[in-house]
Amino acid sequence: MVPGLLIIALFAAAVPAWGGGGQARQFCVLCHPVHYAERGRCVDCHRGNPASERKNIAHTGLREGKYARFTIGDRVQMKEGQRLLDLLACRRCHVIAGIGNSLAVNLDRSVSRKTAGEAALSIKRPVANMPDFGLNGGQITALVNVILFGAQGRETAETAPVRVHFNDSGKKRVDLFSKKCGSCHRMLSERLGAVGTGAIGPNLSGLLSKYYPGTFKNGEPWTAVKLTSWLKNPRQIRLWARMQPVALTAAEMKELESVISVSPKPDR
């Protein structure tokens, strides 16, 4: 700790009233060595309460070092986070950095209400309507850093009201999706909220939007026409598809489409 203490001592000597010139004193430096001072104040990167000498109060809403790496432009981690964000298509449900469907909570705003640790936990142990991606700690940390990076300056942006999705497992749904697809798939529908209870097939939220991964064939995105041909015979499209054909009338197909589709919104 000697070098750290030395830094504090030097720092204290050089800047007698930390943050003089009207800024409040930061008690963080009573217990911690100073670093990255040229890039900002402790709370710019770590949050917390700089006005208290007591650790538990000073650490209120603290952002641990590993979730602050985006502030120093860690390229490798940012690239990994971005890759996962695209691969797992988080934007089929969430707005992130102003872009994405609003089928679940807006993450730009969520990160100002919650700590980074809570966000990480939500990814590690997702609610029923969010897929469990089975990610490891490093991957989750990279994702949280990318979300925090994208949220900068957007934390209070005007957005659609936050939807909360209840898991009303007691009630039997009668909509077409629940009847024909819901035993194997789950989905967040703009019109109906959470539908389906199955986990055998992928979560189909945002299937007909541009944020769903291009899983149709050769990386192509899904469209209503392609979905119709898939339902007629999945094996015509994927040789080893486990899904059986589902027979729907033209009217049912229209109904299904309206449950799945997401109204396009301008990116913010």
Please tell me the distance from the alpha carbon of residue 93 to that of residue 79, in angstroms, as a whole number. 21
Contact 142, 116 (CB under 8 A): no
Closer to ligand HEC by CB, 241 or 267: give it.
Answer: 241
Residue type at 242? R
In this structure, the number of other CB atoms found within 10 A of the CB of residue 111 comes to 23
CB of 39 to ligand HEC, least distance (A): 4
CB of 192 to ligand HEC, least distance (A): 14
Cα angle value 236/241/243 (rounded, 5°): 100
Closer to ligand HEC by CB, 46 or 154: give it.
Answer: 46
Tokens of 221: 């995105």
Contact 69, 150 (CB under 8 A): no
Closer to ligand HEC by CB, 38 or 267: give it.
Answer: 38
CB of 137 to ligand HEC, least distance (A): 13
Contact 125, 154 (CB under 8 A): no
Closer to ligand HEC by CB, 129 or 209: give it.
Answer: 129
CB of 22 to ligand HEC, least distance (A): 18
CB of 102 to ligand HEC, least distance (A): 9
CB of 156 to ligand HEC, least distance (A): 15
Closer to ligand HEC by CB, 22 or 134: give it.
Answer: 134
- In degrees to the nearest 10, what's the CA dihedral of 172, 174, 176, 179? 40
Among residues 93, 148, 91, the alpha carbon closest in space to that of 117 is found at 148
CB of 226 to ligand HEC, least distance (A): 8
Closer to ligand HEC by CB, 55 or 254: give it.
Answer: 55
Mention every residue, 6+ apart, whose C-beta is less than 8 A from residue 26. Answer: 18, 19, 41, 42, 43, 50
Please tell me the distance from the alpha carbon of residue 190 to that of residue 258, in angstroms, as a whole number. 9
Closer to ligand HEC by CB, 84 or 158: give it.
Answer: 84
Please tell me the distance from the alpha carbon of residue 115 to that of residue 117, in angstroms, as a whole number. 5
**24 CB-contact burial (10 Å; exposed 0-12 / middle 13-18 / buried 19+):** exposed
